[in-house]
Amino acid sequence: MPKAVDVSVDAMIEDLRTLVEVESPSRDLDALRESAGTVAAVIETQLGGKAVLVEGEGGPHVHWSGGGTPRVLILGHHDTVFPLGTLARRPFRVEDGRATGPGVFDMLGGLVQAVHGLAALDDRSGVEILVTADEEVGSRSSRALIEERALACGAVLVVEGAADGGGVKTGRKGCGTFEVSVAGRASHAGLEPAAGVNALVEAAHQVLDIAALARPEVGTTVTPTVASAGTLDNVVPARATVVVDVRVESADEKIRIEAAFAALAPHLDEAVITVEGSVGRPPMPESAAAELFAVARRLLPGLEGRAVGGGSDGNFTAALGVPTLDGLGAVGGGAHADHEYLLVASMAERANLVAGLVDAIRNA
């Protein structure tokens, strides 16, 4: 077992407070700019050097390098799902061994732990940190940068929140969102309903067709989640939309699902179907994490690995064939919920785990 690095839990909590108290909802570019500057300042204070802000359509990403030949990328994000004003209702607190506040678990706690773990190492060369601004909304503006740095470094440690019970995440499903739009024709619902083409009725047919695409026996879920249609109660609706969440475990299922959405056909004469979307995050196979998970188990005997349904930026790096281990961040729960929390007692152990993995990768 390697010697534990010397980290201060009190110092980590203060940096966590600093990050949480700068709200960073996805797509709010002004808020994300302030958040990126705060993340950069924390990194520079703890690690030295210069944290560079990389502008993107989704907001500024933060990139730091310890110099030397790149060997390992620590990957995270600073955007959160919580709108401005959440902090006033749910301020940062530490009580009864739990830190609470918007983003503590997903995933500001993981960032703080990784930075402090790395700060305790005498040598920080070969390490890069990339903290993106748009992970919660699909990573469209950061994906190319993520993939570039992952390929350059050759190993990725994702500091998303831990799995239930503190395990790391060794596999993730591919994730996608589809929007199915129906164009019909309006008419008076009382005087001449047959003159219209009812987009809502067509959407109902489509929901049943779409739900039937699921194959839970191979891990594929297809879940209609949001629908809208109509204008007034006496008008045959001319338009309707259905939004669908898709999760897949294999590349073959990704291909099947995308082809099935492209092939959706109307049931009503003169209705028109338009489909947008894809399985944007490819699956993260457990094989991508196997090597790094074995190292983590040597560092922290008894550590569990779990495959989970949610996606992260680790899906992109694993799909490139880059060894990727996820869920190395905060131990806690309640991601995206008002009861989100981080267990303070686990902070030092997780900082040590990241530091140990960095050393092991560089010495391999």
Q: What is the pLDDT of residues 170-214, one digit of tens each?
A: 999 999 999 999 999 999 999 999 999 999 999 999 999 999 999
Confidence (pLDDT) at 5: 81
Token pair in block for residue 260: 């099935």
Collapsing DSSP to helix, strand or coil, 243 comes out as strand
Per residue in 14-60, pLDDT (tens digit) is 999 999 999 999 999 999 999 999 999 999 999 999 999 999 999 99
Identify each DSSP E strand in the chain by its residue range: 52-54, 61-65, 72-77, 93-95, 98-100, 127-132, 156-158, 168-172, 174-183, 221-229, 239-248, 272-281, 305-308, 324-325, 332-333, 341-343
Q: Is the dihedral of CA 215, 217, 220, 226 positive or negative?
A: positive
Token pair in block for residue 182: 């129906």
Confidence (pLDDT) at 232: 97
Q: How many whole angstroms separate alpha carbon 116 and alpha carbon 11?
A: 9
Q: What is the pLDDT confidence band of residue 3, given thresholds at 50, 70 and 90? A: low
46, 115 Cβ separation under 8 angstroms? yes
Residue 278's identity, in one-letter code, is: S
143, 316 Cβ separation under 8 angstroms? yes
Per residue in 311-340, pLDDT (tens digit) is 999 999 999 999 999 999 999 999 999 999
Confidence (pLDDT) at 1: 45
Distant-in-sequence, close-in-space partners of 108: CB < 8 Å, separation ≥ 6: 16, 19, 20, 78, 80
Q: How many whole angstroms separate alpha carbon 358 and alpha carbon 362?
A: 6
Q: Which of 159-163, 198-202, 258-262, 306-310 has the lowest mean pLDDT?
A: 306-310
Q: How many whole angstroms separate alpha carbon 155 and alpha carbon 94?
A: 34
Total-model pTM: 0.91
Confidence (pLDDT) at 210: 98
Beta strands at 332-333 and 98-100: parallel, antiparallel or unpaired = unpaired
Segment 103-129 shows an average pLDDT of 97
pLDDT over 90 at 157, yes or no: yes
Token pair 């039937």: residue:
212
Token pair 């500057």: residue:
37
With b for 16 or more beta-carbon neighbours within 10 A and e for fewer, the 237-271 pattern comes to: bbbbbbebebbbbbeebbebbbebbeebebeeeeb
Q: How many whole angstroms separate alpha carbon 105 and alpha carbon 332?
A: 6
Bridge partner list, 341: 100, 333
255, 242 Cβ separation under 8 angstroms? no
- Residue 95's Cβ-count burial label (10 Å; 0-12, 13-18, 19+) is exposed
* C-alpha Rg value of the chain to the nearest Å: 23
Segment 94-112 shows an average pLDDT of 98
Per residue in 219-254, pLDDT (tens digit) is 999 999 999 999 999 999 999 999 999 999 999 999
Half-sphere exposure of 231 (CA within 13 A, CB side): 12
Q: How many whole angstroms separate alpha carbon 179 and alpha carbon 181?
A: 6
Share of the chain above pLDDT 90, in %: 97
Torsion-angle region of 116 (φ positive above 0: left; ψ -120 to 50: alpha; else: beta): alpha
Select from 169, 29, 42, 230 the least CA-distant residue to 118: 42
